């Protein structure tokens, strides 16, 4: 995945209405050139730079400082960059579509119009108060004993209320063309397990803020002050116990540690006090005999925690998560309180995003492919797809041709790498076949109900895959999404239409700029198939070791260089990046930009020497990479990303990557002693 999506620990539907923008990085070329003084170059791909900063000293500031100064972080955002600006441009297109659909619905636009219209009807939400949530709260309150917990929890999971653990489906690690059931840890209100245990002052302050948030939410529900305070303390203590059983985020990145196939009887024996048969029946899953248990120790731990925990504590905990999940769809006081903690405290955003933006996101989450059809009609043409396919082919070929140059890798592993690379498929823009939402009921006057039903619809869609062959044509992102991804079990790369816009892909710009921008993204996603996670999957997407022991060891040595390099970069105060947690993305950045460069050289040939605006093709290439990452972020957001994210901060994605490339040093005539030249300390895996 090239960027990082919305932050926080709530569900996607919750985040859509609460957390101020949290996607990574920069802006469109149009926005950049409009924001600079007169007389500066405005042609696509020609940069506006800070001449007082040498590209060899700090390429990120050299290329991005003018943009950063001209584009301060909006009050409703925790960071601001090209992902955000492009996402907002896409939102504006979607808003036009949705407002027309809400005002003048047609058979084709009725559902998206009704969902958006219900979301925008804030007066109706205020009038209903907590009434739409009451049936769910009543079901929790009616819980008489722990023997009924499984049935209750399944009914909550089916409407998007998290708790205790997560259940879903995934590709079978041994037969990736098939889907199997998956169990994993879950049920925390803070972003990650370490938030419950870190002992630094900032972590203590955030836990105190979480306690205060819990207390305020119960107060909004009408719970007396002393009881609200007691409830907050009860939930914090219970979630801390759950967190003790979680793997840390580095361990959770390892597919080998997260793969533990078990038959049902073995799994049930881990937590025999929980009625798994009732849970499965209520959830409505297909029959299955084998599942993947992503954390067996957690379910042993959960059995012990539940046995020691009073029933009233469990009910209080589930009540909290029901309200948390519903907060975006409740009256303004709940929305603002939710934002105050998850947006302001954790991410640093100053203001809640306008309701229309939150409702556009919510509709995209609920009816993404139905809404996406209209976006594609307005924003993505066949010429863009054709040029993208050409770039993908060039960069895939460059990777293939580059494999023999990897002297650390033996011929046997090289042959397997080539085999896997040749099997990579790509999806550009939008699905070949659109999802059918006919079975999803959407009501113009039922916001919370729409949210619950859309979650249930998506849940049923995914659970129905268990025991069946996977659909290789399926997309996991909606067409307007500003992101891209590689899926290891599918061995495919995916580029939604939403990211195939300037500055990532500018049809008016020359190849050098585009190969540095979207080409770097293409290379990034291809390289994910060969990073510390992706390399553990074979050409068919199965979790299988195709490496010789010697090459596996040498890969680890090469990767450790990146762990050490990025682990030294400071995020905020004494918080540094986690070099192990970000290893996959850093491997993809470094390998991806390099193979994009090789792809450009093959495409241009002798034309690489041609200058545009006084810049060589090499220089325009590297400016293209910098443009997509020009951004700034609030200290809270930088810290949150360093503690929970798998992506490095944007300035390190630029400087960390180019400093490892001798091609960059040559393009800008950098000296061996310059900061952007790591020389014999340069890291290279691919």
Question: CA 228 to CA 214: how far, in whole Å?
Answer: 8
Residue 39: count other Cβ atoms within 10 Å of its Cβ.
6
Question: CA 420 to CA 390: how far, in whole Å?
Answer: 20
Question: CA 335 to CA 331: how far, in whole Å?
Answer: 7
Of the CA atoms within 13 Å of residue 128, those in its CB half-sphere come to: 19
Catalytic residue selected from 589, 636, 651, 674: 589
Question: CA 209 to CA 172: how far, in whole Å?
Answer: 41
Q: Return phi, psi of residue 21, to 5°.
A: -35, 130
Alpha-carbon dihedral sign for residues 240, 245, 246, 250: positive
Is 297 among the catalytic positions?
no
Question: CA 321 to CA 10: how far, in whole Å?
Answer: 9
Residues with Cβ within 8 Å of 338's Cβ and at least 6 positions away in sequence, in order, are 10, 14, 18, 217, 324, 327, 328
Strands of the sheet containing 485-487, edge to edge, are 425-429, 492-496, 485-487
Question: CA 454 to CA 452: how far, in whole Å?
Answer: 6
Is 589 among the catalytic positions?
yes
Contact 508, 387 (CB under 8 A): no
Q: Which pair of structure tokens corresponds to residue 216?
A: 């305020």
Write the DSSP assignment of 273-307 as a string of letters: TS-HHHHHHHHTPPP-SEEEES-HHHHHHHHHHHH
Q: Return phi, psi of residue 492, to 5°.
A: -135, 155
Of the CA atoms within 13 Å of residue 217, those in its CB half-sphere come to: 32
Catalytic residue selected from 185, 506, 525, 532: 525
Question: CA 28 to CA 30: how far, in whole Å?
Answer: 5
Residues with Cβ within 8 Å of 160's Cβ and at least 6 positions away in sequence, in order, are 11, 13, 325, 451, 452, 455, 456, 459
Contact 630, 25 (CB under 8 A): yes
Q: Which pair of structure tokens corresponds to residue 387?
A: 């040029």
Question: CA 56 to CA 664: how far, in whole Å?
Answer: 9
Residues with Cβ within 8 Å of 197's Cβ and at least 6 positions away in sequence, in order, are 240, 243
Write the DSSP assignment of 529-557 as a string of letters: TTSTTGGGB-TTS-B---S-HHHHHHHHH
Catalytic residues: 525, 589
């Amino acid at each position: 995945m090239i960027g990082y999506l919305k932050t926080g620990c709530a569900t996607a539907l919750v985040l859509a209405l609460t957390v101020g923008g949290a996607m990574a990085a920069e802006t469109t070329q149009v926005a950049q050139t409009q924001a600079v003084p007169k007389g500066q170059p405005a042609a696509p791909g020609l940069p506006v730079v800070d001449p007082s900063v040498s590209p060899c000293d700090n390429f990120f500031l050299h290329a991005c400082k003018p943009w950063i100064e001209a584009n301060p972080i909006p009050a409703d955002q925790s960071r601001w960059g090209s992902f955000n600006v492009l996402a907002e441009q896409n939102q504006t297109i979607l808003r036009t579509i949705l407002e027309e659909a809400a005002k003048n619905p047609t058979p084709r636009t009725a559902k998206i119009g009704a969902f958006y219209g219900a979301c925008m009807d804030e007066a109706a939400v205020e009038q209903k108060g907590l009434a739409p949530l009451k049936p769910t709260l009543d079901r929790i309150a009616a819980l008489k004993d722990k023997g009924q917990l499984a049935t209750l929890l399944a009914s909550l999971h089916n409407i998007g209320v998290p708790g205790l653990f997560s259940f879903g489906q995934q590709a079978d690690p041994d037969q990736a063309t098939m889907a199997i059931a998956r169990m994993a840890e879950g049920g925390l209100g803070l972003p990650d397990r370490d938030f419950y245990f870190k002992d630094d002052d900032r972590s203590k302050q955030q836990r105190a803020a979480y306690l205060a948030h819990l207390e305020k939410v119960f107060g909004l529900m009408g719970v007396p002050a002393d009881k609200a305070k007691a409830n907050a303390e009860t939930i914090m203590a219970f979630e801390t116990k759950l967190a003790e059983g979680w793997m840390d985020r580095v361990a959770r990145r390892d597919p080998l540690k997260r793969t533990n196939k078990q038959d049902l009887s073995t799994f049930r024996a881990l937590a025999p006090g929980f009625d798994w048969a009732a849970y499965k029946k209520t959830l409505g899953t297909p029959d299955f005999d084998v599942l993947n248990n992503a954390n067996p120790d957690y379910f042993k731990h959960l059995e012990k925690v539940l046995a020691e925990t009073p029933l009233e504590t469990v009910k209080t905990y589930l009540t909290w998560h029901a309200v948390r999940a519903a907060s975006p769809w409740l009256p303004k006081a709940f929305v603002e309180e939710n934002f105050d903690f998850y947006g302001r405290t954790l991410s640093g955003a100053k203001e809640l995003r306008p309701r229309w933006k939150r409702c556009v996101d919510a509709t995209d989450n609920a009816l993404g492919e139905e809404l996406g059809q209209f976006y594609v009609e307005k924003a993505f043409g066949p010429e863009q797809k054709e040029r993208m396919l050409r770039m993908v082919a060039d960069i895939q070929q460059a990777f293939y041709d580059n494999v023999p140059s990897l002297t650390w890798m033996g011929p046997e592993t090289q042959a397997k790498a080539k085999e896997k690379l040749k099997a990579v498929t790509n999806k550009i823009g939008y699905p070949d076949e659109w999802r059918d939402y006919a079975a999803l009921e959407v009501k113009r006057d039922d916001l919370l109900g729409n949210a619950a039903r859309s979650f249930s619809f998506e849940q049923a869609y995914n659970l129905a895959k268990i025991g069946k062959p996977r659909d290789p044509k399926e997309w996991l992102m909606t067409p307007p999404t500003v992101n891209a991804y590689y899926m290891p079990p599918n061995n495919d790369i995916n580029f939604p239409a939403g990211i195939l816009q300037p500055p990532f892909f500018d049809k008016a710009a020359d190849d050098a700029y585009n190969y540095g921008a979207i080409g770097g993204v293409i290379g990034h996603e291809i390289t994910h198939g060969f990073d510390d996670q992706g390399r553990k999957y074979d050409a068919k997407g199965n979790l299988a070791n195709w490496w010789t022991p010697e090459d596996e060891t040498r890969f680890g040595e090469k990767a450790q260089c990146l762990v050490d390099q990025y682990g030294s970069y400071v995020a905020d105060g004494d918080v540094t990046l986690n070099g192990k947690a970000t290893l996959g993305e850093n491997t993809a950045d470094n390998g991806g930009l390099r193979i994009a460069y090789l792809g450009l050289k093959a495409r241009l040939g002798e034309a690489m020497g041609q200058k545009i605006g006084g810049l060589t093709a090499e220089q325009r290439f590297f400016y293209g990479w910098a443009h997509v990452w020009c951004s700034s972020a609030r200290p809270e957001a930088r810290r949150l990303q360093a503690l929970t994210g798998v992506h490095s901060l944007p300035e390190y994605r630029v400087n960390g990557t180019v400093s490892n490339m001798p091609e960059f040093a040559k393009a800008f005539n950098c000296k061996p002693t310059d900061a952007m030249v790591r020389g014999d300390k340069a890291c290279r895996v691919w």
